[in-house]
């Protein structure tokens, strides 16, 4: 099976002043196949967000190669890269970045209209479906101060999925949540993955990274 995303010899340093730079990613070689559920684990400051930004081209790499869907990313013009990120990649950011002057539904719709992949009517329909799936349909008209942290995280997940991306990158998607909401969000990501979307998570939490343990505990709960 071909890889959906692969990196070879990926390096990233940040320059801090004239003579000093910090090397964050060193020779990262990874492959993610379509439909996989992959977690990258590391402590705070180890470079998880940098990996996500560099793999998706949001942050330029220092050297190495990233291939996504058979396209070598650094050969693509920025306009094509932006379109790729809009339509084929979904992002659940560490800091959710919702717009406070839009209600929850409009925050979800936001990347849907400019993508122009489908009609506004079908983007609206998809937003409704996603809000049903994630259990926030009744909050559609609320603004972001009228929702809990877990509910806002689910808004972020819906927004990431609005254009039916091939891959969803989650950067500590449960970082700000209590254990019950964490479980709900992980359950949701598991279901999204079961529907065919590749999931690529960055986390410092072994419980979030350990998908097998998660599946085993759900199976126990369901008496399987
Ligand atoms: N724009 C930048 N300029 C300079 N250094 C940076 C920049 N962005 C990140 N770094 C440094 O790169 C390292 C990795 O940061 P990164 O945010 O990727 O870590 P992380 O694993 O996501 O951490 P956390 O779990 O706290 O989110 C840190 O030492 C950070 O200080
Ligand atoms: Mg981070």
pLDDT 10s digits, 52-89: 999 999 999 999 999 999 999 988 999 999 999 999 99
How many Å lie between the centroid of ligand 1 and the Cα of residue 103?
31
Look at ligand 1, atom 14, and give the residue with the nearest C-alpha: 47
CATH of 5-221, one of 1.10.3720.10, 3.40.50.300, 2.40.50.100, 3.90.1150.10: 3.40.50.300
* Backbone angles phi and psi of 31, in degrees to 5: -130, 135
CA 40/CA 169 separation, integer angstroms: 11
Closest protein CA for atom 3 of ligand 1: 14
Q: Are 72 and 10 in contact (CB under 8 A)?
A: no
Phi, psi of 24 (to 5 degrees): -105, -50
Confirm or reject: Cβ of 59 under 6 Å from ligand 1: no
Please report, for residues 12, 22, 47, 61, the alpha-carbon distance to residue 17 in angstroms, rounded to integers and kept in the order given: 16, 10, 20, 18
Q: Tokens 């890269």 appear where?
A: 81
189 compared with 14, residue with greater pLDDT: 14
Q: For 102-147, how does the pLDDT look when each residue is reduced to its tens digit (9 = 90+)? A: 999 999 999 999 898 889 999 999 999 999 988 899 999 999 999 9
* Residue 125, beta-bridge partner list: none
Averaged pLDDT score across all residues of the chain: 90
Which pLDDT value is given to residue 79?
A: 93
With tokens 């684990």, the residue in question is 41
CA-nearest residue for atom 8, ligand 1, is 50
Sheet strand arrangement including 37-41: 37-41, 198-203, 167-171, 89-92
Query: What is the total residue count of the chain?
Result: 224
What pLDDT does residue 169 have?
A: 96
Rounded Cα distance between 165 and 85, Å, is 9
What is the whole-number distance in angstroms between the Cα of residue 14 and the centre of ligand 1?
Answer: 9
Question: Which atom of ligand 1 is nearest the CA belonging to 16?
Answer: 4
> Residue 193: how many CA atoms within 13 Å on its side-chain side?
21
pTM, two decimal places: 0.89
Ligand 1 pocket check for 114: Cβ under 6 Å: no
Asked whether the predicted pLDDT for residue 1 surpasses 70, the reply is: no
Shortest-distance atom of ligand 1 to CA 59: 1
User: Cα Rg for the chain, rounded, in angstroms?
Assistant: 18
CA distance 69 to 88: 9
Please work out whether the CB of residue 22 comes within 6 Å of at least one atom of ligand 1. Answer: yes
Looking at the CA of residue 52, tell me the nearest atom of ligand 1: 18
Closest by alpha carbon to 56, among 160, 174, 173, 210? 160
Mutation choice for ligand 1 from 16, 25, 50, CB with most ligand atoms inside 8 A: 50
Measure the CA–CA gap between 224 and 211, rounded to whole angstroms. 17
Q: How confident is the model at residue 214 (pLDDT cuts 50, 70, 90)?
A: low
For ligand 1, atom 10: residue with the closest CA: 14
């Amino acid at each position: 099976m071909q890889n959906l995303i692969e990196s070879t010899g990926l390096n990233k340093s940040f320059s801090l002043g004239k003579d000093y730079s910090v090397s964050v990613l060193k020779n990262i070689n990874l492959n993610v196949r379509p439909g996989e559920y992959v977690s990258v684990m590391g402590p705070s400051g180890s470079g998880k967000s940098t990996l996500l930004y560099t793999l998706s081209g949001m942050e330029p790499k220092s050297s190495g190669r990233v291939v996504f869907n058979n396209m070598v990313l650094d050969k693509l013009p920025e306009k094509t890269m932006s379109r790729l990120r809009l339509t084929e990649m979904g992002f659940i950011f560490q800091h959710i970045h919702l717009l406070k002057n839009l209600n929850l539904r409009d925050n979800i719709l936001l990347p849907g209209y400019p993508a122009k992949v489908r009609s506004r009517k079908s983007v609206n329909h998809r937003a409704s479906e996603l809000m049903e799936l994630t259990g926030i349909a009744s909050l559609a008209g609320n603004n972001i101060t009228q929702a809990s942290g877990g509910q806002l995280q689910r808004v972020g997940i819906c927004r990431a999925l609005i254009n039916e991306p091939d891959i969803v990158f989650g950067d500590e998607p449960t970082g700000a949540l209590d254990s019950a909401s964490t479980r709900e969000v992980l359950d949701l990501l598991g279901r999204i993955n079961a529907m065919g979307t590749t999931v690529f998570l960055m986390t410092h939490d072994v419980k979030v990274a350990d998908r097998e343990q998660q599946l085993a505990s759900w199976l126990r709960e369901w008496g399987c």
